[in-house]
């Protein structure tokens, strides 16, 4: 349900090691204040109602309803140049009509 490229897994693991305390990588829909909703990741605590997926020794948390709408999800990491680096999250999520509960 979640595919993580080797480069993305390496960068996520580096990020997790830099964090203090337990947590997981959360995938969520960023739709407030943006013209076009998109999926993003951040370090967070697990919550009731989350689905948990482990891929390449990384545990991801995502709202179950969002997972069902978005899967499959593919996470990649791109380095275009020094100023353009980051994660790309691709899914089949329809970007119109989904609202978090």
pLDDT tens column, 15-26: 999 998 888 999
List of residues 6+ apart from 98 with CB closer than 8 A: 29, 31, 37, 66, 69
pTM of the model: 0.83
pLDDT at residue 95, as a whole number: 53
pLDDT at residue 53, as a whole number: 96
What is the residue-averaged pLDDT of the chain? 87
- The yes or no reply on domain 2-90 and CATH 2.40.50.140 is no
In 1-101, alpha helices (H): 6-18, 64-70
Residue 98 has pLDDT above 50, yes or no: no
| Secondary structure of residue 16 in the 3-state scheme | helix
How far, in whole angstroms, is CA 42 from its chain's centroid?
A: 7
Of 78, 29, 76, 79, nearest in space to 55 by CA: 76
Distance CA 24, CA 30 (A): 18
Domain ranges of the chain: 2-90
């Amino acid at each position: 349900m979640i595919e993580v490229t080797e480069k993305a897994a390496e960068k996520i693991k580096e990020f997790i090691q830099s964090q203090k305390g337990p947590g997981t990588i959360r995938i969520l829909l960023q739709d407030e204040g943006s013209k076009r909703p998109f999926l993003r990741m951040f370090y967070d605590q697990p919550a009731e109602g989350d689905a948990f997926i482990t891929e390449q020794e990384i545990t991801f948390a995502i709202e179950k309803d969002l997972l069902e709408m978005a899967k499959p999800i593919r996470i990649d990491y791109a380095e275009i140049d020094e100023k353009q680096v980051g994660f790309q999250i691709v899914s089949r999520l329809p970007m119109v009509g989904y609202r978090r509960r």
